[in-house]
Structure 1
C-alpha cells in the first residue's frame, strides 16, 4: 500500500482521474466538480490494481492549502456536514460571549496547572491564573455581557476539575499547545496537550457535552484528525495513540475512537472548504448567486432549535450579500477575489509541484530544501538551544549559532516556528513545532519567547540542533474578509463614499482653537478639522508628517476634546511608524493607550500598552472606565482592526492613518466600516497621511491579475486592486474637483538641495522647497576626493562574480567606498551615519563579507538592507548597490509607472515614477552614492534620467 502520493490533474472522467501516465480510480472519493486542470491532489493509502490503476482510500484537494482543524470541525452541524458553514464563520463578525471567555479562561487554567510548582496552593494558583487571563483578555472581559457571580462560580468549578485531573490523570511529561502541520491531509492545528512521546493527546472543552454527557461529534472529529496527523507525520499506528476529550465541567476524560468512514467525512468537508475557497478567488459572484439555504441545511432539518437559533444567521448572511446595491456587490466580489488570490499565494505560492524557495509561499516549509530556504533568507538552521526556566516553566529559548546569514529575513517581534532538525534529511518539514516570538536578535544568537510556557524542559534537548522558520497566520486575512462583509451593510453614505459615488463634505464654519504660526501648516490643520468625511495629506520624504503635521492635528484635537468627550484613533501600517507616533505623543505629554503585542512595541512605550495598564485597573469596570476616558488610542491598522470590541465602548471623532499609501483598500475597510453598540458608524471621519510616490503595499499578483474588469467600478475610478485607498481617493478628489480634500506638505528638511532637486523635478511636480536647515545648503561636513552630493560609480559586468541575486564586484566597490569615507571621517573627527541599500537580500551577505575583509571599524553597525526595509528611515550618506548585471534583471530593479500629479493645478500632468529609486534617493541627507553597471542602467529610463542629472551636476 502506498501511504501518500502527490499528483497533478491533467484530465478526468466521472470515475477516473488522469495524471500523466497514472490512472486513479475515483469512486466518489472527490466530486468531479472540485477538479480542474493542474489541480494538486494527495492520494492516501493507495492500492495498485493489476492494470496499474491506483485506488486510494482518500483524496486530498490542494494539500498545500492548509485548513485549520477547528474550521473543518465547525462544519459538522445539527443540520448536516456543511462546508458552506465555513463561509458563515469566515465573513460574519465574531462575537465574544461569556461561554467563549469561559473557554479561554479554562485553557489558561490548564496551562497554569500543568506548569505550576507542586508547592503552590491551589487557591493561590486559581487567583493568579484568573488574573492572568483577565490581563491577557481585558478588552473582551470589559465588553462582554453576563460576567457576574455565576461566571465566577463556573470558573472556580472548572479550575478545581482541571487541577485535580492534571494532578492525577494526565501525563506528567507533556507539551502544551503543540502546533503541527500535516501536508498529507492538508490540515494544521494546535493540540491543547500532548505527551512527550506523542502517544497521548488531550483536548480541553469547557462547554457542554451532548445529552447524557456523551461527546459531541465535532469534538470527536477533532480528535480523530489529530490522531490521523500523527499517523502521517510520525508513522504512529492508530492503536498506539490515545486521544482524550476532557470535558472540564463534569469532569470526564473520554477516550475517542472513530472509524475510517469518519475520516472520509472529515476529508470530504475539508475538500469542500478548499473548493469554496477556489470559487471565492475565481468566481465569487457565481458562487453567491447559486448559494442557498440548502447548502447550509444539508439534511433538511426544521426543528425548533434550527428555526429559532441556526436559521436566522444563515438567512441574514445570504440577504446581506444578495440585497446589497449592484455597485457595492461588484466592489465586494472584486476585492474579495483579489484578497483570496493573495492569501492563496501566501499559503501555496505560484502553481506547481516543485517551486523555488521564495516563490512557494508558506508551502516552502515542507516543499523545498534547507539550502533553498537559506538562499531565500527564510530559515536559520543549526541552532544550539538553552531553555530559560522560571517558576512558570520554560518561558524562552536562548539559541546560538556560528553566524546568522545577513540575508535572513527575520526581525524582532516576528512570529516563528522552532523545531528540532532532522539529522538525515535535507528538508525540514516542521511537522510539530513550538510557536515563538523573536525577542532579541544578534549576528550569532537569538532569544525566542515561547507563546506558551512549558513545564517539561526535556522538550528542548540541548544535544540536538534546531531551526526556525517564519510562521504563517490566517487571522489577518480573517479581519479583512469580515471588513469586506461589513462594507455591504454599513450606512449608505459611507458605502457610497468608499466607492466614489459621493464627494467628501466639509464644514467651512469650523475654525481652529489653537494659533498656528506657519500659514501653510495652519491651512492643512484647518482643512483636516473641517473635513466631515476624509482629508488626504501627502507627506513627501523629510516633510515632517509625524513631527509637524500629525503633532499639530493632535494638539488641535486635545484642545477641543474635553468639550466633546470623543476619542482620537491614531494608527499606521507598521509598528515602527506607530512607535514614532508614540514618541511624538510623549513629546507633547499626551495621555494615550496603545493596543498591540508587547514585543512589537518599542520598550520605552510599553508602559502605555493595555496589557501593562491592566495591573492598575484590576476590574472590568475600571478597564471600561479607562477605555472610555483616555483621549487617544494608538495601534497598527492590523491590531485595531482585530479589536471590534473597542468600538462597542468608544466613539471616535476621527481616525488619523499614517502610512496610508502602504495599505491596500481591503486593509482599511475594517476601520471604515466599524460600528458601535447601536450599529452606527464608530469613526466619524478619516485623515489619511501618505505618499503614493513611495513604495506601496507588497502585492504577489501581477498587474494583469490585479486589474479591475467591472465597467461600473472602472467608471468610478476603481481600476487596479494594487492601488491603495489613499492613492485612489487622491486621484478621485482631483478628478471630481474637490481640492480641499487634498493637502501637500512641501517644506522638506532632510535632503541637501542638490539631492532634493532631482526628486522634486522628477517625482513631486517641483512643489518641494527646503526648510532650509544648515545642512541643506552648506558644504559637505567632511572632505573626500569629491564634494558632490550625488555620485555614480561604474562597476562593469563580471559574469564570473555575479549571480541572480548578488554581485561580488559591486560589493568590493561598496566596501572600498565605505573604507574611504570611514577613514576621512576618522581623520577629520566627524561623525556621520551610513546606510547601504540593495535590491536583493543575497547582496547583503556579499557586502558584509567585503566590509569584514577590509577590517573596517564598526562595520557591523552599518545597516545593509533592501529598499523596502529602509522606507521610513534616513542616513547622512546612502550607498545604493544596484547589483544587476544583465538586462533581464532590470524589470526586477525598476518598475516605473505612470502617475498623476499631486494637485489639481499641476505643473506636469503625468510623470514616469520609479518608486523604489525615489525611496532609495530620499533616504540620504548629505550624499547619495549609486554603484552599478552604468551602461546597463542607462537602458532603463528612470536610471538614465538620474545618471544624466548626476553628470550635469558634477560637470
Structure 2
C-alpha cells in the first residue's frame, strides 16, 4: 500500500533552507543535508530490486543510471561525505554542497532546479587540486568495470580522478587477483588493503569483496576439507542438522575446562566443571546417541590434565614453572592479561569471530581443538605446512591473526599464535605455528568466493545453484580415497540427495524460500538502504549521531561493580553507570538483548572495529545504571579497565538464518504425507467421533471440540482481547492432557527412580517472543500444569526461571533420572527460535501436539521444519495485526504470477500461487487460513468472536473496517456494559467535557516544523498528549495505575523522548512510569485509555505510518492502526494533523467516523 509521497518541491525547499536559515546549527545543517540525500536515494532506488550496502553505493548507482557528469558525481560524493560529519562547513563549501545536492535531485527526478534555488548556488563546481600520491592501508571503492589487467573503480575518498585502476596482477610483487574475474560485478564494493597508490593505479596486496558482509571465521575454516573448498560448502553446512555427539560434548567441556583452569588459578577441580557443564547442557547429554559416560569421564580427565599443564606453561605461577617454560623456548605471558573468548568484528577483512584465548596486549593468540589429530598420532608432518596442524584449524587461527593485525594495526612479529590440541599432552598438542601468508590469502579468496556466491543466489534465486549441490561438483579436489568414499561422501549425499528428489511443487517451494532467507540475511548484514537502522554493518557505517538518534548505542559508561554470578564462573556480571546520553536519547534495548560491551579511548568515538568485544546479554536496564551478563566470565577483574569509558551496542549473530535454512531442509526430509499436508496436496483429516472430556465454556466448547477432532492441524483466529492465551489455549492444553499419565514424583527423581512409560501425549507450546512465552508460563502456573521451559534465564521472567531445564534438574545427580524427568514432563515450552536451536529434544520426546501462539508473526522458514517433527499442530494468531518484520521489499519477497514466470527462470514459481503462497513475507498461519477458504472448508478454522477488551463504542470502528468477517462481539465484561466514563470531577473546560462524554476522540494538531528539529518530532502533539495525561491522571485520582490506566503510542522513538520531557515538567511521578512506545512494541498490551499521536507533518511520512496494509474483500486493512486502536479498553484518544492525514483513505475515514460520533474536538 506504499504511495509516492516524496515530492521534488519538498526536497528543493530543504536545499534552499540549508542556505537561507541562519539559525541552523552546523550539525543540524549537515544532518538535514544527509536526510535529504537519503530521501532522494530512497525514491531513486526503490524499484531497482537490488540491495545497497550504504549511501555511497546508492549515490554511485544513481549517478550512473541518470548519466550524471563525472565532475558533478565527484561533487555529489564529496557532499555526501560532508553530510556524514558534524564538522561545520565553510560558507563556500556549503554552497558547493547545496549545488551538488540540487543537481542530484534534479537528475534523479528528471526535473529542472527551480529558479529561486539556482540564484543561490554557484554555477560551477568547486575547483579541484591534484592530490599528492598516496600510500594507503585501506581504500573502499565501487567496481565500475574491468578487463584482464585492471578493475576500474570509484573510490570513497576526496579525489578529482574520474576513476582509479586497480591492478590485478603484479608478478614482480607476487600479486595475483585474477581469480576475481569470475566473481566481479558492476557496483560491487571492495576493500583494497595494503595499497601502493600511484595515480591512477592502485596495487593492493589484498582485496576483500563486499566487506560489510561479515562471515564467521569458524564457518570459513569448516569449509577447508579433504576434498577442497567449494564456495557452496558454506551453504551446505548451514543445511546440516545440529550435531550432538559425544565429541561435541567433550569439546564443549574442554572449552569450559580451559576457562575454569585459568579462573581458579591453581585450585582447579575437574568435577566442578563436569557438574556445571552437565547442568548447562543437560538436554544435550540426555539426547546424545550412544553416549558412554565412563568413556566421557576418562577423556574429560585427560583433557583437563593436559590443559592444566598448558596453562602452567603459558602462564607460570611459580619460578620453577617459569624456568620450564623458558626451557621449552616458550615466551612468558601475563596471566592477569589472559582473556577468554573475546569477540571481534573486522570490516577490513569482512569477517567476525570469537577467539578461545588471548592476552589483552595481543602478544598471545590461542585456538583450542579437543578432537583427534591424526598427524600427531601418526607423527606425520603435513607436507604443505611442514607441521602437524590440520588445515581448517590453521585457517581459523590465521584469520584471527589477520583480524588482530588489521583491527589494531599490529606488526607481523607482535603476536605469537598457538594451536592447542588439548587431547594431547603439551609437547605434542601445544603447537607453535607461524603466519602463513599464502594460506591466509587463500582463506580470504575463499571468503570472497562464498560471499559472491551468496549475493548471486540472493539476487538470481537458489534454483540457479540447485544442480551444483552434488558430491561430484563439491569435490573440487577430486578426492577418491577410502576415507572420502566411506565417510565423507555419504555425509554430503545425506544433505544433497533430498534436494534432487523433490516434486516440482516442493522444488519451487524450497528454492523460493531459500532465496527469501538468503536475501533477508544479505540485507540484515549489509542493509537495503541507509537510514533504516536494520543491518549489522550499521555498527561501523552509521555515524555516532544517528546511532544515538536510533537509541542503538550507550556511550561513556563506567564500571561500578564486577561480580561473579556463581563460584568459579569468573567475573561475568558487570554493572555500569549510565551518564546523561543526550537530551533526546531513548535506548533501543531490552532485557535479554545480545550486546557487545567494549572500551574506547578518551576523546575518541567508540568503534567496534578497534576494540576487544565482550559478548553478553542485558540483565538489567535502569536510567542510571545497566547490568550486562557476559557469555564468558573473566578470571581477572583487572581485565575490565576502570579508567576508560565503555560502550554498549547490539551484538550480531547468524543463528536466525542458520535456523531457517535447517528448518527448510528438515521439511524436505520429512515424510511425504507431512510434506503433502503442508503444501496443500493432502487434505487435513478429522475424527468427528471424538468428544470433549468435560465442559469448559459455553462459547468455546465448539472450538475446543473441533480443535480436538482435527487430526493434522487447526487454525485459531484470535483477534485482540478474545482471550486466546488465558482461555482458549488453556482449555486446549487441559483437554489434551486429560488423555495421559502424570509426571514422575520429586521423590522418585531424587532417588534416581524411573517412570514406567512415556506419557500418552506430550505437548509442545511455542511462541515467537519471550514475552508471549512468559504469558503461557503464567497460564500454566495458574492452572497448576507442570512444565519445563527451554531458554536463557536472562530472557525469562524471574517468576518462571525455576522451570528452566537446567534449574529444574539441579537436584538430579544421575543422567538417567534427568532423562526420565524430561520424558515424564508432558508440557515443554519455549520460543520457536529456541526450539530450532535445540532440536535434540525431538529425539527424546515424541510430541503428539504442538500449539504455536503468535503464529501470524512467524515466517514459514522459521516454523515449517519444527511442524514436520510433530503429529498435529494448532496455530493461533491474527494476521490483521502486525506480522513478522521483513526487510526486503514486498515486490522482492513476492511470488510471480504465471505471466511473470513465463518471462524467465528455470523453475515455474507461479505454481506456489496455487497453494495460496503469494508472498514469502506472509506467515504459514495466514497461508493456511487462505488455503482453507480456497478449499471451502470451515471445520479446521476457529474464530474467537467474543472480545473482552474494547468497549463497544471503541470496537465499532475496527469491527467496521478490519473485522467484517469476524464480527466481534463484547463478552460482555463489566467495563463493556458501562454507559458512562468514570470521570466524576468537575470539568475545567470544554475538552474535559469531551473526555467525559466520548470514548473515541480526535484532537487536530497544527503544523509546528522547526529548522533544527527532526521530522520525527511533533512538539504540538507532544504538548497535547502531555495535557491529556494530566487530565486523565486528575480524573482517575487514587485509582490511577501506571501499568493499567493509560498508555501512549507514537510512530517514532524521537516523539517518545519529546513526550517524556513534557511529563517531567508536570512533576507527577506516577505519569513518569507509564508506557510510551511504538505500535510495534505495544502489540500484546492493553490499557484503559490509549493516546495515539500520529506525529507526522509531511505527506511522504504516510508511507511509513500506513505501510503495513493489505486488502481483504475490497477493504483496506491497516495493521498498525488496528493494533493501536485495539489496545484501548475504555477510551481511545488520537491527535494528528488533519491536512496530512486526509491524504490517506483509512485515516480520512477514521476522522470522519469520530466527527460523526461527536468526538472530533
CA contact (8 A) 2:882 2:1108 kept: no
State how 1:137-536 maps to structure 2 within 5 Å. 137-144=281-288, 145-170=290-315, 171=333, 172-173=335-336, 174-212=338-376, 214-251=388-425, 252-282=429-459, 283-350=461-528, 355-356=530-531, 358-359=532-533, 361-390=535-564, 391-392=567-568, 393-403=570-580, 407-426=586-605, 428-430=607-609, 431-518=611-698, 520-536=699-715
User: Which residue matches 2:42?
Assistant: none
Distance, in Å, in 2 between the alignment partners of 1:146 and 1:569 is 25
- Residue 826 of structure 1 and its aligned partner are, at CA, apart by 2.3
State how 1:48-197 maps to structure 2 within 5 Å. 48-49=197-198, 52-116=200-264, 118=266, 120=267, 122=268, 125-144=269-288, 145-170=290-315, 171=333, 172-173=335-336, 174-197=338-361
User: Which residue matches 2:1024?
Assistant: 813
User: Which residue matches 1:15?
Assistant: 149
Note if 1:949 corresponds to 2:949.
no
Distance, in Å, in 2 between the alignment partners of 1:360 and 1:773 is 41
State how 1:732-751 maps to structure 2 within 5 Å. 732-751=931-950
CA contact (8 A) 2:457 2:464 kept: no
Secondary structure at the residue paired with 1:750? coil
Between stretches 702-711 and 99-108, larger displacement belongs to 702-711
- Residue 829 of structure 1 and its aligned partner are, at CA, apart by 7.7
User: Which residue matches 1:905?
Assistant: none
Number of equivalent positions: 929
State how 1:693-772 maps to structure 2 within 5 Å. 693-709=880-896, 710-765=909-964, 767-772=967-972
Between stretches 585-594 and 846-855, larger displacement belongs to 846-855
User: Which residue matches 2:833?
Assistant: 638
Distance, in Å, in 1 between the alignment partners of 2:1084 and 2:585 is 21
**Cα deviation digits, residues 803-827 of structure 1 (max 9, x gap):** 2221122111111111122122228
* CA pair 602-359 structure 1, distance change in 2 beyond 3 A: closer
- Residue 517 of structure 1 and its aligned partner are, at CA, apart by 3.9
Distance, in Å, in 2 between the alignment partners of 1:290 and 1:651 is 35
* CA pair 827-48 structure 1, distance change in 2 beyond 3 A: closer
Between stretches 106-115 and 312-321, larger displacement belongs to 312-321
Secondary structure at the residue paired with 1:18? strand
Distance, in Å, in 2 between the alignment partners of 1:892 and 1:157 is 60
- Residue 406 of structure 1 and its aligned partner are, at CA, apart by 5.3
**Cα deviation digits, residues 257-312 of structure 1 (max 9, x gap):** 13221111111111122122123312311112244434422121111011101111
CA contact (8 A) 1:395 1:449 kept: yes
Distance, in Å, in 1 between the alignment partners of 2:358 and 2:1137 is 57
Question: Of 982, 987, 1004, which aligns to 1:781?
Answer: 982
Distance, in Å, in 2 between the alignment partners of 1:302 and 1:140 is 34
* CA pair 760-406 structure 1, distance change in 2 beyond 3 A: farther
Secondary structure at the residue paired with 2:1001? strand
Distance, in Å, in 2 between the alignment partners of 1:559 and 1:291 is 47
Between stretches 685-694 and 616-625, larger displacement belongs to 616-625
Secondary structure at the residue paired with 1:221? helix
Distance, in Å, in 2 between the alignment partners of 1:664 and 1:513 is 34
**Cα deviation digits, residues 478-511 of structure 1 (max 9, x gap):** 1110111122221112112222222221111111
User: Which residue matches 1:557?
Assistant: 736
- Residue 117 of structure 1 and its aligned partner are, at CA, apart by 5.0
Please give the TM-score of this superposition, normalised by the length of structure 2. 0.78
- Residue 851 of structure 1 and its aligned partner are, at CA, apart by 1.1
CA contact (8 A) 2:739 2:761 kept: no
Distance, in Å, in 1 between the alignment partners of 2:678 and 2:415 is 54
- Residue 402 of structure 1 and its aligned partner are, at CA, apart by 2.4
Structure 1: gaps spanning 5 or more residues = 675-682, 901-908
Distance, in Å, in 2 between the alignment partners of 1:503 and 1:113 is 58
**Cα deviation digits, residues 672-711 of structure 1 (max 9, x gap):** 223xxxxxxxx11110000011100111111111111221
Distance, in Å, in 1 between the alignment partners of 2:1108 and 2:207 is 45
- CA-based RMSD of the aligned residues comes to 1.8
* CA pair 298-931 structure 1, distance change in 2 beyond 3 A: same
Between stretches 125-134 and 279-288, larger displacement belongs to 279-288
User: Which of the two has higher C-alpha Rg?
Assistant: 2
Distance, in Å, in 1 between the alignment partners of 2:957 and 2:504 is 46
**Cα deviation digits, residues 188-218 of structure 1 (max 9, x gap):** 0101111121121111111122424521121
User: Which residue matches 1:37?
Assistant: 186
User: Which residue matches 1:904?
Assistant: none
**Cα deviation digits, residues 418-448 of structure 1 (max 9, x gap):** 0112434335234421012111111121111
User: Which residue matches 2:808?
Assistant: 613
Please give the TM-score of this superposition, normalised by the length of structure 1. 0.95
Question: Of 897, 903, 917, which aligns to 2:1121?
Answer: 917
Distance, in Å, in 2 between the alignment partners of 1:302 and 1:112 is 43
Distance, in Å, in 2 between the alignment partners of 1:423 and 1:322 is 58
**Cα deviation digits, residues 899-918 of structure 1 (max 9, x gap):** 43xxxxxxxx3321110001
CA contact (8 A) 1:279 1:287 kept: no
CA contact (8 A) 2:787 2:825 kept: yes
* CA pair 397-517 structure 1, distance change in 2 beyond 3 A: closer
Distance, in Å, in 1 between the alignment partners of 2:956 and 2:541 is 48
Distance, in Å, in 2 between the alignment partners of 1:720 and 1:484 is 16
Secondary structure at the residue paired with 1:858? helix
**Cα deviation digits, residues 585-632 of structure 1 (max 9, x gap):** 111100111001111111111111001012122222122101211110
Between stretches 720-729 and 248-257, larger displacement belongs to 248-257
Distance, in Å, in 2 between the alignment partners of 1:557 and 1:827 is 44
Secondary structure at the residue paired with 2:1048? strand
Note if 1:583 corresponds to 2:778.
yes
Between stretches 496-505 and 606-615, larger displacement belongs to 496-505
Distance, in Å, in 1 between the alignment partners of 2:1076 and 2:806 is 34
CA contact (8 A) 1:84 1:295 kept: no
Distance, in Å, in 2 between the alignment partners of 1:572 and 1:359 is 26
Note if 1:669 corresponds to 2:864.
yes
Give the number of the structure whose residues are more often strand, by fraction.
Answer: 1
* CA pair 149-703 structure 1, distance change in 2 beyond 3 A: same
Note if 1:647 corresponds to 2:842.
yes
Distance, in Å, in 2 between the alignment partners of 1:201 and 1:36 is 36
CA contact (8 A) 2:598 2:608 kept: no
Between stretches 416-425 and 132-141, larger displacement belongs to 416-425
User: Which residue matches 2:1082?
Assistant: 870
Distance, in Å, in 2 between the alignment partners of 1:253 and 1:387 is 36
**Cα deviation digits, residues 28-57 of structure 1 (max 9, x gap):** 5243221111111111112235x6321212
* CA pair 613-517 structure 1, distance change in 2 beyond 3 A: closer
| Structure 1: 4+ residue segments shifted above 4 A | 827-832
User: Which residue matches 2:900?
Assistant: none
